[in-house]
Structure 1
Amino acid sequence: MRSLAVLTLMVLGGCATYGPKPIPDDPDFAPVLPAFEEKPLVATGSMYYDAGARDLYADRKAARVGDIITVMLEESTSAKKSSTTELKKKSAVDLPAPTVMGRPVTINGNTLGIGISGNNDFKGESDADQANQLSGAISVHVIRVLPNGTLMVRGEKWITLNNGDEYVRLTGVVRQDDITADNTVSSTRVANARIQYSGTGAFADVQKQGWLARFFNSPLWPF
């Protein structure tokens, strides 16, 4: 029973990092199509008037549900941290031997003096250095227009390779003022951005630890 319990904990610890695998055509990233409304017929006397058309002199920028925005991925992060801790403690206690009438008190010729000393040293150092960079472009759909005019966007891009797929996913909120005249926006101007860049298949699998290795690196391992 003890061996079975240990094996169960190992399996659970190894499987703790598993989750649903990303797949193309995920319903959570399905494109949002604009609602097709029947245009009202307005009698203006002109055969070229279109009630639902955009302004002839306006920029062709995304502003409605279903419109497409191209997000330029310009992510670059760098973090560095260094810390040093050093603690020292030293203590000493010396109790001289008691004396009676000027003579030290002894037991079998041994004095009763006591001396205690101790040293405690601790030194710790830690360094962390991390840098990430992501560049490219991904086109996303406007899935909702908020009351203040900002746009909620969502989209993904899948690239099929010989031994697997690579994908980029992005969700976030974009201000219409940040969209340029050519209908692009920098990823650094996407609020609450969630950007995923990963892959599936043989290349992605060989970079993952096995379930036993993940167990020994998980919080369930007591040592």
Structure 2
Amino acid sequence: MNAKPFLRFLLVLAAAASLGACAGFQERMSRIGEAPGLSPIQNPTAQAGYVPVSLPMPNDPAVAGGASPSLWQQGSRAFFKDNRAARVGDILTVTINIDEQANLQNQTARKRDSTENLGLNGLLGLETSVAGAALPAGYSPSGAVDLSSGTNTAGDGSIKRSEAVKMTVAAVVTQVLPNGNLVIQGRQEVRVNYEMRELLVAGIVRPADISASNTIKHTQIAEARISYGGRGQITDVQQPRYGQQVLDAILPF
């Protein structure tokens, strides 16, 4: 085996790991003794990775005649004004209350034994001469074939998961789809000492699901994307080192 390609691969891998480690080292060195900085308030549609939502829309039914003038606003909970979010830039409150538990356990067991015996004790009286001419010495016709097999398989699997997240976040309407549904996106950052907590929420909501207090539950958000995480000194300690992450990615055992 030629060792040069393997050594070249190791050098490239070490260089890539050192570049990533160097960038992370510089970023950590720049904030020694300082708390993580808050991100500036930005336009959600101008952030990296933002993609406008495009979904199939139902055909609008034909409306016979014009709508009669009225002081009442369709979908309004009050006579004069509807305070619910309905336009791009409006703000609504999203309540997140996730309390889920899953407990799955599977067991499988299988066992099978089989034995086959076959002998040729007589063949017109010629079994001994035929065996001596065609088969090695010491052949016994009574034990011509003797087969046995056995299989034993056992499997056991268990999954236990528990999740609980309860909080409230304000989201901004970024799009109004042709059928009237609203695309929302919200981000919240909370810094406690030297640890930053980030909450992201995005999805599609129906205006009819927004309550009179301009709030909506996370269970009423279609295509919901909810992320809760953090960054800071505690998060850095909980993360494995760059070298360990590289080895975990490339080692097959």
Q: Tell me if TM exceeds 0.5.
A: yes
Matching of residues 205-220 of structure 1 within 5 Å:
205-215=236-246, 217-218=248-249, 220=250
Among 199, 215, 220, the residue aligned to 1:189: 220
Matching of residues 121-200 of structure 1 within 5 Å:
121-200=152-231
Paired position in structure 1 for 2:83: 60
Among 109, 112, 133, the residue aligned to 1:86: 109
Q: Is the Cα contact below 8 Å between 2:44 and 2:174 reproduced in 1?
A: no
Amino acid at match of 1:222: P
Unaligned segments of structure 1, at least 5 residues = 16-22, 33-53
Normalized per residue, which structure has more helix? 2
SS across alignment from 2:9: helix
Report the CA distance between 1:145 and its aligned residue: 1.4
Q: Is the Cα contact below 8 Å between 2:87 and 2:173 reproduced in 1?
A: yes
Q: Distance in 1 between matches of 2:14 and 2:107?
A: 35
Amino acid at match of 2:97: E
Q: Distance in 1 between matches of 2:223 and 2:211?
A: 20
Q: Is the Cα contact below 8 Å between 2:95 and 2:217 reproduced in 1?
A: yes
Is 205-214 or 131-140 further displaced after alignment? 205-214
Among 136, 140, 146, the residue aligned to 1:111: 140
Q: Distance in 1 between matches of 2:246 and 2:121?
A: 61
CA-to-aligned-CA distance 1:125-173 (integer Å, 9 cap, x gap): 1111112111110001111112222111111011112223111011111
* Aligned residue pair count: 193
Q: Distance in 1 between matches of 2:103 and 2:41?
A: 36
Q: Distance in 2 between matches of 1:93 and 1:127?
A: 39
Matched, 1:5 2:5: no
SS across alignment from 2:178: coil
Q: Is the Cα contact below 8 Å between 2:45 and 2:174 reproduced in 1?
A: no
SS across alignment from 1:206: helix
Normalized per residue, which structure has more strand? 1
Q: Is the Cα contact below 8 Å between 2:96 and 2:168 reproduced in 1?
A: yes
TM-score by length of 1: 0.71
SS across alignment from 2:238: coil
Matched, 1:75 2:98: yes
Q: Distance in 2 between matches of 1:145 and 1:92?
A: 72
Q: Distance in 1 between matches of 2:215 and 2:178?
A: 22
Q: Distance in 1 between matches of 2:155 and 2:204?
A: 43
Report the CA distance between 1:109 and its aligned residue: 5.2
Paired position in structure 1 for 2:32: none
CA RMSD for the aligned pairs? 3.3
CA 1:12–1:27: 2 relative to 1, 3 Å: farther
Q: Distance in 2 between matches of 1:9 and 1:126?
A: 36
Amino acid at match of 1:137: T
Q: Percent identity?
A: 26
Report the CA distance between 1:190 and its aligned residue: 1.1
Report the CA distance between 1:57 and its aligned residue: 2.4
CA 1:154–1:66: 2 relative to 1, 3 Å: same
Amino acid at match of 1:135: K
